[in-house]
Structure 1
């Protein structure tokens, strides 16, 4: 399973959605995740990949982790995994 597939599966589980229906361009809001659901998804992603996501839900941008779309989350996770491996 690729990083993208795992991230989509984890987000789908939190959103109670079919992973096959989730595309990178979708927003978490379009999946029905509120801010609490997003935080829970981020925690799940951190645990699954053994990474720390620099994400503060009440602040825009200072952590440098974009949660605007599923694709942005995937790219962020891939970047954190690469940085951890370096």
Structure 2
């Protein structure tokens, strides 16, 4: 499964939506994902890809992990997966 599909699947699960209903341009607010849901999504992403997401739950705006949209999260995870495979 591609990174994109798995990230969408994880986000859809948190949003209680079907993966096909999650669009790349959607924000977490659009999806109704609150801060707890975001943290759970981050944990699920870390587990699914065996990566460490640089995310500060206390100050999300200060994190290196871009959560501004589904697409930005996909790109961030793809980058982390690439870094991990070259480590």
TM-score (normalizing by structure 2): 0.92
Q: Does residue 1:57 correspond to 2:23, yes or no?
A: no
Runs of 4+ in 1 over 3 A off after TM superposition: none
Gaps of 5+ in 1: none
RMSD: 0.9
Aligned length: 85
Gaps of 5+ in 2: none
* Aligned pairs (5 A) from 1:1-86: 1-59=1-59, 60-61=61-62, 63-86=63-86
Q: Higher helix proportion, which one?
A: 2
TM-score (normalizing by structure 1): 0.93
